[in-house]
Every structure is written in C-alpha cells, then in structure tokens.
Amino acid sequence: MSGFRPFGAATKTWLIGAVLSVALAAPAALGQGKKGPARPPALPTPALQRLSQMTPQQRQKALSRLPPERRERIEQQLNRLDQLPPDQKAKLLQRYDEFQGLPRDRQAAVRAELQALRKMPIPQRRQRLNSPEFQQSFSPEEQRLLRESLGRPAAP
C-alpha cells in the first residue's frame, strides 16, 4: 500500500482501546458466550475500520509491528467484526459516524456512560436509562446512541 505509515505509539494505544471496546460486545452480537438477548457490537474506531477494510496482506503488514499478544487479540476482534452480518455492520458504522459527530467532550461523556451502563445489572441499567438525571445529562441524540449501543430501542 503506497503511503502506508507504521503505527505510532498514540495510534497503538487507540487501536488497543478499540479492540477492547469491540471485545466487550462482539461475542454477544455473534451469539457466543452468555445466552440471552444479543447485545449489538461496540462502536468501531477509525483504526479498526481501516484494518477491517485492508486486504489480508495489508492487514498482516500493519499488524506485524505489534507485539504477538496484542496482535492476536486484534486479529480475533477483526475476525469477529468481519463476521457480522452486513446490516448489523452498516448500523454499527452509522452509529459510529453519529458518535464521531458529537463534540469531543460529549464523546467522552457518552463513552463513559456506555461503559458504566454495560457493567450494571439489567434492572439497574433500565432504572438509570429512565432516570431524570440521565435525561438531563444527555441530549435526545446521545440518549438514542446509548440505548442503541445497548441493544435497546430508543425511548418514545
């Protein structure tokens, strides 16, 4: 690939964060792991998107620069992302574009809330999503992104 630049330290850190976010959601989205309703995958990052769109040779070259353990984890997550049905992958990319359209401070707030919500038991999560504090803390668009990222329909 002409113009290919090796990953810098910041990109490596960012890529690892991306993989971790996909790791939290992809197994459930593929019907693996716990039984019950499937959770949609986490939002991909530009680095993960870029890697998923590379040819196997390009991907191999890019990943060869990473330590073996990190490389293996990233390859597993890319495989899970590649296995998503096209409609689910399209929805995921659309949510990601909407998320990227938020101001940086709001992205951080939405990301932190999503991580916190994913750690909560379902009854507590429902209570949080319906709380006045949640509704005052997040815009309707942010609330929709959070609900959809959790596999819940947007509130009426």
Averaged pLDDT score across all residues of the chain: 74
Q: How far apart are CA 11 and CA 137, in angstroms?
A: 30
The pLDDT-based confidence of 120 (bands split at 50, 70, 90) is: very high
Could you state, in order of their start, the residue ranges of all structural domains in the chain? 7-85, 101-156
| Predicted local distance difference test score (pLDDT) of residue 75 | 83
| Predicted local distance difference test score (pLDDT) of residue 142 | 95
Residues 129-144, mean pLDDT to the nearest whole number: 96
| Predicted local distance difference test score (pLDDT) of residue 143 | 95
Q: How far apart are CA 95 and CA 113, in angstroms?
A: 16
Angle at 73 between CA 71 and CA 79, to 5 degrees: 100
Chain center to CA of 124: 22
Chain center to CA of 95: 9
pLDDT in tens, 83-114: 889 888 888 878 888 888 999 999 999 999 99
Q: How far apart are CA 29 and CA 3, in angstroms?
A: 35
| Predicted local distance difference test score (pLDDT) of residue 79 | 82
The pLDDT-based confidence of 81 (bands split at 50, 70, 90) is: confident
Identify which has the larger pLDDT, 52 or 112.
112
| Predicted local distance difference test score (pLDDT) of residue 54 | 81
Q: Which of 3-7, 127-131, 134-138, 139-143 has the lowest mean pLDDT?
A: 3-7
CA dihedral 118, 69, 12, 94 (to 10 degrees): -40
Q: What is the DSSP string of 93-133?
A: HHHHHHHHTS-HHHHHHHHHHHHHHHHS-HHHHHHHHTSHH
